[in-house]
Copies of this chain bind each other. A is one copy, B any other.
Amino acid sequence: MADDWGQLVELVREGSHMIIVLKPGTRDADIEDVCRRIEALGLRAHVSRGEQRTIIGAIGDDRFKMRLQALEALECVESMVPILQPFKLASREVHPADTVVQVDGVLIGGTRLAVMAGPCSVESLEQLQTVAEGVKAGGAHILRGGAFKPRTSPYAFQGLEEEGLQLLAEARKRTGLPIVTEVLGPDKVELVAEYADIVQIGARNAQNFSLLKEVGQCGKPVLLKRGMATTIKEFLLSAEYVLAGGNANVMLCERGIRTFETTTRFTLDLNAVPVIKKLSHLPVIVDPSHGTGHWEYVGPMAKAGIACGADGLLIEVHHKPAEALSDGPQSLKPDKFARLMAELRVLAQALGRTL
């Protein structure tokens, strides 16, 4: 698939309106014939020869797209994919198979569910280490923790910054868990990518296009959170920025949208899970901690997230929630986290997955 992906990126970037997939082993003469026919319709043909097969993009005026359909009748054409959705690389239309992101041995997007857990903010070595061991004991696969914190108020704790990244690296060394942590600005992408196994883009930066372009080239998998007023289609277009930058390892995270309801901090929109699964091949992670804002709702909504098809969860855990520097009310204690994991394991099995 690696080839095809590179080929697709190239064709879509060129602005193709139609992707024509040729059968394996198509001869050069036939390829040239297809190109001539495309050009006869007033369009340009862009040939991309991969190891497995050749793909041709037809580029030009949208109005001729319908007449292109006739090429499907040619012997050498396997399939034709009109590029209709505004998101292309993110769409299941272009890439039917589920993407599985691999992070240091952990697979995200396959049958096994992935759980990322840890404190909202990295506060100290002692705090991070305690929580990291707690979530590992509970069965988490990846350690989360914020070093750069996006805070609504400039007077709130802004994170330990690079020191926080170093503490995360230390925790990874001690526990063996890969780490996911957030980056706030394009100038810090290189720094964060140096430490992190997964680079997170937060909800408030879901349409920070400078940042999205930058993480498209950072070489590390990206966990992209949905903005609180981002439609699902806009969310996939934000993913498209990262994908178009050449980074195929994008995970989408539903973390709650803004609605009129105030008993929960946000409205975790689980409908997004099956909708994204239909429209896109990218893995979907659910964050019930930010989505609800209250620890007692984390368990029920984590279960619901798995039940409707999410590939993983992002859960905030703190050993002393009442003393947390951020988001204490929505953090689970390690023992509660472990009990939830036990329940999720039973649930996963009933759903034909593993945890």
Contact = CB atoms under 8 A, between A and B. Distances in A.
Interface of A: 12, 15, 86-88, 150-155, 184-188, 204-205, 207-211, 213, 227-229, 231-234, 237, 240-241, 244, 257-264, 267-275, 278-279, 291-292, 296-297, 300-301, 303-309, 346-347, 349-351
A274 B260 contact: no
27 contacts: A15-B155, A86-B152, A151-B209, A154-B209, A154-B213, A154-B241, A184-B210, A185-B185, A185-B211, A204-B208, A208-B208, A231-B260, A231-B262, A258-B258, A259-B269, A261-B271, A264-B271, A264-B275, A268-B271, A271-B301, A274-B296, A274-B300, A300-B309, A303-B351, A304-B308, A307-B308, A307-B347
A268 B261 CA distance: 12
Contact of A260 (B204, B241, B259): B259
Contacts of A227: 229
Contact of A208 (B153, B205, B259, B268): B205
Given A303-B308, A304-B308, 7 more contacts: A12-B155, A88-B155, A150-B209, A154-B241, A267-B267, A268-B270, A274-B300
A268 B207 CA distance: 20
A116 to B, nearest CB: 20
Contacts of A260: 229, 231, 257-260
Copies of the chain in the assembly: 4
B304 A278 contact: no
A232 B244 CA distance: 35
Contact of A301 (B86, B240, B267, B308): B308
A307 B153 CA distance: 31
A272 B244 CA distance: 38
Contacts of A275: 263-264, 297
Contacts of A151: 209
Contacts of A301: 270-271, 274, 308
B184 A233 contact: no
A244 to B, nearest CB: 5
A346 to B, nearest CB: 5
A83 to B, nearest CB: 10
